[in-house]
A and B are shown apart, each in its own frame.
Chain A
Amino acid sequence: MSSYYESQDLAKFGGIGEHAKKLADEFFRYYGEVTGTDGALTKREKALIALAVSHAQKCPYCIDAYTTQCLETGASPEQMMEAVHVAAAMQAGITLVHSVQMQNHLRKLVL
């Protein structure tokens, strides 16, 4: 039975160029420049950010890819887990900050 998110499909990422090669080429050049080089942020810092985003966006391909990338840039398991907690805390905060909207509306509705 086939299913979504087969781990071997990660290797097919380059195939997004089919039917839209120019756009894919431009995307991969940009992607490589942003994530694969040391800039104002180190490659390790970028990998940790990407790992956090992977969890927030719940992308299993990205979680596998950036767990490896974190290790290949020398990150420790503690740094990786803390990055995931940043994503989790942000998501909790984003949920809770919306309660301001709820309270605003509540005040409007209550006589």
Chain B
Amino acid sequence: LNYDFETQLRRRGMELPPLAVQTLQVNITKLCNQACRHCHVDASPARTEMMSAEGIEKCLEILARYPEIGTLDITGGAPELHPQFGFFVEEAVRLKRHVIVRHNLTVQLDKHPKTGASMEHLPQFFAGTRVELISSLPYHQQFFTDAQRGPGVFQKSVEAMRRLNAVGYGVEESGLKLNLVYNPVGPYLPAAQAVLEADYKRELKSRYGLVFNSLYTITNMPINRFRLHLEKSGQLEPYMAKLLAAFNPAAAEGVMCRTLVSVGHDGRLYDCDFNQMLELGASCAGRALTIFDFDLATVLRRRIRFGEHCLGCTAGAGSSCGGATA
């Protein structure tokens, strides 16, 4: 079987050039309080990569210069563990940007893995800045959640959600958005997003009294830690064949790399967070793109770098950092 993504596009006469940069997604650290089995970042408490203060300033300068970049999406690792996380959020809010924080829930309760500092202030901080939170919860039950994210994670996530609900997150009339992310716990595709969202809402409300806004389904990309698991268990080939068989042209049209750019901790630009982890840097006319010489017109002229992992974004209902795309 041919898993080359561009071959799939050519067969269908498709081209996927960049359309816009609506979102600047910045991975500010690979440090995390967790070490999840599927993590494409290979994030863990042992990682040390951090964006410099200069890098943070450059990102803010880019936002100030280009109002058409309406959203700052801060990710990691656990981005809250970066020493300038609070500054970054507050300054982007001051620039009137929509700020999304990829918040793993448990970081509220685990102490900072390097400094031992308490992170229990986070719900108040989030509510004060009114950022949108997107949080992973692989299932509405303990079994799958702990299998993927580690023992005890489900109960901690429930407690963290309770604290977020208490300050208004996920509560309809508050306007404070708490969105959850489902991703399969193994080499299979997510169920329909709307169906799962209804299950999550019913189960989390009835069992734990918890509320949230939307559920996003995300497919596991066959890269890094998850790929290693697939290789070791002899499941890589069947998983790739499954992704290929489920190629959906409508999902391909909506791939997120057409409307965002991803920034690495060192300031390099990538088409998405997955390309970042594979070190497939974005370039234009042979020059690597970075935040230090950022020019929007040049970024939009780049050719998106596709690989076989892109089949993960185009399978079935599609997958992106904002959930299904088709």
Contact = CB atoms under 8 A, between A and B. Distances in A.
B192 A71 contact: no
A111 B199 CA distance: 61
Contacts of B192: 73-74
Interface in B185-216: 186, 188-192, 195-196, 199
B195 A74 contact: yes
Interface class of chain A by DSSP:
helix
B interface residue count range (under 10 / 10 to 19 / 20 to 34 / 35 or more): 10 to 19
Contacts of B124: none
B86 interface: no
A72 B196 CA distance: 10
Interface in A55-88: 68, 71-74, 76-77
B196 A74 contact: yes
Nearest to B189: A72
Contacts of A42: 195
B87 interface: no
A77 B191 contact: no
A72 B143 contact: no
A100 interface: no
B184 interface: yes
The 8 closest A-B pairs by CB, nearest first: A74-B191, A74-B196, A73-B191, A71-B188, A72-B188, A72-B189, A68-B188, A74-B195
Given A72-B190, A74-B195, 9 more contacts: A44-B195, A72-B184, A72-B188, A73-B191, A73-B192, A73-B195, A74-B191, A74-B196, A74-B199
